Amino acid sequence: MTINVGRGIIESRILPSRRITMFFDQIKEIDGNLKDLRDHLKTIGQGVDVHFDQLDDIAAHIIALEAILLQVIKKVDIDAEAAKEWVRDNTVESTGKEEGSVKAQAVLKDLLN
């Protein structure tokens, strides 16, 4: 190792045993970091599981509502153009697109067919 001090240079040699100690200290630090990372990944995985369960609940509710809605649509005349316009008007701001949500319009088309 070389240390600059003003105009002079001081050279010192690190003893081999000190280098080995530093190496093992670094290995211990890396090991600790890997264990922390493992713990963080477990926590993230648990959070993902919770969100997946919540999404599954939402999907189940949507499927049930769609089943009911399809039965209602069979008995009631639906103005498809008015429904499309409603989707467009109510999604134009959130999508930033003049035509509104393309996905919502596709779902509407699927429900009406």
Q: What sign for the dihedral angle of Cα 83, 86, 88, 94?
A: negative
Q: Crossing angle for the helix pair 102-112 and 80-95, nearest 10 degrees?
A: 160
Helices (H), the chain: 16-75, 80-95, 102-112
What tokens were used for 14? 């690190």
Sites in the chain below the pLDDT cut of 70: 1-16
Give the tens place of pLDDT for each residue, 43-58.
999 999 999 999 999 9
